[in-house]
Amino acid sequence: MSKFASDQEKDLHGGTQAGVYPAYGNGNGYAGRQSSTEGTHDPGDGYKVVDKADGLHRGLKPRHVSLIAIGGVIGTGLFIGSGTALANGGPLGLWLGFSFVGILVFFMMLGLGEMAAYLPITGGQLTYAGRFFDPALGFAMVWSTTIHWALTCASELSAVAVLVNYWLEPSRVNNAVWITIGYVVVVCLNLTTSGVYGETEFIFSSIKVLTIIGLIILGIAIDCGAGPTGHYLGFHYWKDPGALAQYEGIPGSKGRFLGFWAVMTQAAFSYGGVEFFGITAAESANPRFSIPRAMKQIYFRIGVFYILGTFILGLIVPFDNDRLGTASNAAASPWVIAIQLSGIKALPHIINACLITSAWSAGNADLYISSRSLYNMAHKGLVPRVFLKTHRWGTPWVAVLTMALIPLLAYMTVSNGAAKVFGWFVNLVAVMGLVEWMGICLAYIGFRRAMKAQGFDRKALPYHHPLAYIGAWFALISFAVIILFSGWTVFRDTKNFDRATFITNYLPAVFFPLLYFGYKIYRRTKIIHPQDVDLVSGLAEIEATMEERPPARGVKGRLQAAFF
């Protein structure tokens, strides 16, 4: 028996177990409620667990989890949407906005990584919210996440149409054709096994990672004058037209600050999905190893792809280029604009093809997380048990097919225009993501309070970080401020009030509290006292499935051990 579980665990319902569990290994003490997994029961979090065992299979290998963590949801937010951010904030505003949101995401991920490595259970952060903080928070998180990622899948499918329009205008081939092709591919991949899904995402994510790394290297080369035009740029665009844009022509420091602030929502959309591996942990073959490794690679993703990537982008594209922010097709991608300005001919077509695979991959991951969220609701008895059905390879096919209905909203782009609908989706899912990140921070705060109250030694955890707790509080407050002012632009011109922008920015901020307080009033839940938080249920079962990582042998084995 490992240090995370004990053969002396007993089925003790109700009340805490402080002092019941003896010291383990180096003197760690575990306290909380341990409940049976037999049949239907209430583990104390306000939900009912309706099946005896988790029907999901642990088919995701460490290399799958690593690539999903690094590039699983790198999508159109970084490749296309960053153009809007550059036009709004200028090169310095773009870099500062993505850097600030990146720091907040980093702090949020520290806590999630700690919880997921310790307790890799079905639902991940959705379960942690109800188990460590408040059952009502878990209820709100699981419903919000389920809808959020299905809508994000729709945004990625609409992006597929945007990207194909680079070659074929909608007047020649209707966008419904490209949406249908992308939709069928995404649904079929999600109906396969978790192993096939992981392998597919490994390939797609590899393409995305190589693409963004290649673009960064290319951007450095263009900036140094290695393109066909031979022009050395350096920091030229930081001087002309300038480092900071005057948002919508507003003069002075006010306009420059508003330009920087306008970057925030786009940055949040681009970072969205970084928390995916918290849920994939339930289908990871060895989460004790793969989650800490994936957490280390989160630093790489944030630092290189976003912070360094946006810095390079600001060096090679002027923020006043009239194609930035239009999102009409891939030609609006700042990377494509930079390549064309440098005089390179064929490369934009290759980049566009890579971006299409990126959008498909992101949509694939979005439907995956949405279906697993619905499965988690069924697991807790919040929706009918039919959503627990899995085929013999362990995929919840009923949940997948049900959530696949929401991405059909992507067909709205056929009548309203891909660019306009894509903008609506960006606002909606960005704010929903921010609200859910706040929920993760609250779950971790509850987790840390419980560990302290119950005498838990964090040094024994598979993953821990000294900045996790203070970082969670800082991120929680900052996310709330960003949400509060996310739709400030609509109040500048009340005579021509933009109702669509207002609704898509603030609907999630109203929807989530309604879920939280509605469930809280209906079920009369309370914030769980630290002494009553369950820190041990399920540990023995998890430890029984853990496998030691085999020693690395040969060149291939050593490379895999080093990177995955």
| pLDDT tens per residue across span 183-232 | 999 999 899 877 777 777 778 878 888 888 899 999 999 999 988 888 89
DSSP 34: B
pLDDT of residue 463: 87
Q: Has residue 44 got a pLDDT over 50?
A: no
The pLDDT-based confidence of 50 (bands split at 50, 70, 90) is very low
Answer whether 385's CB lies under 8 Å from 50's CB: yes
CA 133/CA 147 separation, integer angstroms: 22
Average pLDDT of the chain to the nearest whole number = 79
Quick one: pLDDT at residue 12?
30
**Integer Cα distance of 276 and 365 in angstroms:** 8
The answer to whether residue 521 scores a pLDDT higher than 70 is: yes
Whether the per-residue pLDDT at 86 is higher than 90: the answer is yes
Instruction: Say how far apart CA 248 and CA 3 lie, in whole Å.
Output: 58
- Look up residue 230 and give its two tokens: 């031979």
Question: Tokens 């740029």 identify what position?
Answer: 233
Q: Where are the beta strands (DSSP E) in 428-560?
A: none
Residue 132: pLDDT band (50, 70, 90) is very high
Is there a domain that residue 57 lies in?
Answer: no
Q: Are 285 and 96 in contact, with CB atoms under 8 Å apart?
A: no
Position 45 in a domain: no
Could you tell me if residue 214 is inside a domain?
yes
Residues 429-440: tens digit of each pLDDT:
889 999 999 999
Sign of CA dihedral 135, 545, 275, 108: positive
Q: pLDDT of 275-310, one tens digit each?
A: 876 666 655 667 777 777 777 777 777 888 889 999
pLDDT at 103: 94
| Predicted pLDDT at 549 | 55
Please tell me the predicted confidence (pLDDT) of residue 493: 77
C-alpha dist (Å) from residue 171 to 103, 133, 165, 329: 43, 52, 10, 14
Looking at residue 429, its pLDDT comes to 84
Higher pLDDT, 43 or 116: 116
| pLDDT given at position 541 | 75
Which pLDDT does position 47 carry in this prediction?
39
Burial of 408 (0-12, 13-18, 19+ CB in 10 A): middle
52-61, 153-162, 240-249, 512-521, range with the lowest pLDDT: 52-61
Question: Going by C-beta distance under 8 Å and a sequence separation of 6 or more, which residues neighbour residue 238?
Answer: 91, 92, 314, 315
Which structural domain range is residue 168 located in? 62-523
Residue 82 has pLDDT above 60, yes or no: yes
Which stretch of 216-220, 296-300, 361-365, 514-518 has the lowest confidence by average pLDDT?
296-300
What are the distances in angstroms from CA 229 to CA 110, 224, 233, 337?
Answer: 45, 11, 11, 14
Asked if residue 424 has pLDDT above 70, the reply is yes
Evaluate whether residue 42 is within a structural domain: no
User: Which range among 143-157, 324-338, 462-476 shows the weakest confidence by mean pLDDT?
Assistant: 324-338
Query: Count of residues for the chain?
Result: 564
Is the model more confident about 355 or about 397?
397
Q: Which of 44-53, 77-86, 128-137 has the highest mean pLDDT?
A: 128-137
pLDDT score of 504 more than 70 = yes
Reported as a single tens digit per residue, the pLDDT across 306-354 is: 899 999 999 999 999 888 865 555 556 788 889 888 888 888 888 888 8
Q: Which of 102-111, 227-236, 265-274, 523-532 has the lowest mean pLDDT?
A: 265-274
Write the CATH number for 331.
1.20.1740.10
Element (H, E) at 198: helix 194-223
pLDDT of residue 56: 54
How many Å apart are CA 179 and CA 561, to the nearest integer?
Answer: 38
Within 8 A by CB and 6+ apart from 48, the residues are 40, 41, 42, 380, 381
- Does residue 218 fall inside a structural domain? yes
Give a yes or no: residue 156 inside a domain. yes
The larger pLDDT score, comparing residue 159 to residue 254, is at: 254
Q: Is the model's pLDDT at 471 over the cut of 90?
A: yes
Higher pLDDT, 488 or 186: 186
Q: Which tokens hold the place of 80? A: 């296309």
Q: What distances in angstroms separate CA 81 from CA 34, 56, 155, 335, one per listed residue?
A: 47, 35, 12, 11
State residue 540's pLDDT score.
79
**Considering only CA atoms, which of 405, 394, 406, 396 is closest in space to residue 374?**
396
The percent of residues above 90 in pLDDT, for the chain, comes to: 35
According to DSSP, residue 495 is labeled G
Q: What value does the mean pLDDT take over residues 103-124?
A: 88
CB-based contact 116:278 (threshold 8 Å): yes
Structural domain tally of the chain? 1
- By mean pLDDT, which of 18-22, 173-177, 345-349 is the weakest? 18-22
> Dihedrals φ, ψ of 21, to 5°?
-85, 130
For residue 17, pLDDT over 50 is answered with no
pTM assigned to the model? 0.81
Which comes out higher in pLDDT, residue 235 or 42?
A: 235
- The span from the CA of 373 to the CA of 223, in Å, is 44
Q: Are 313 and 298 in contact (CB under 8 A)?
A: no
Q: Please tell me the distance from the alpha carbon of residue 85 to that of residue 78, in angstroms, as a whole number.
A: 10
């309706």: which residue's tokens?
50
Q: Residue 63: its pLDDT value, please? A: 60
Sequence-ordered strand ranges (E) for 149-263:
none
Angle between helices 175-190 and 347-379 (to 10 degrees): 50
> Is 240 a member of any domain?
yes
DSSP H helix total and E strand total for the chain: 21, 0
3-state secondary structure of 279: helix
Provide the pLDDT confidence category of residue 8 given band limits of 50, 70 and 90.
very low
Does any domain span residue 437?
A: yes
Closest CA to 88 of 294, 298, 334: 334
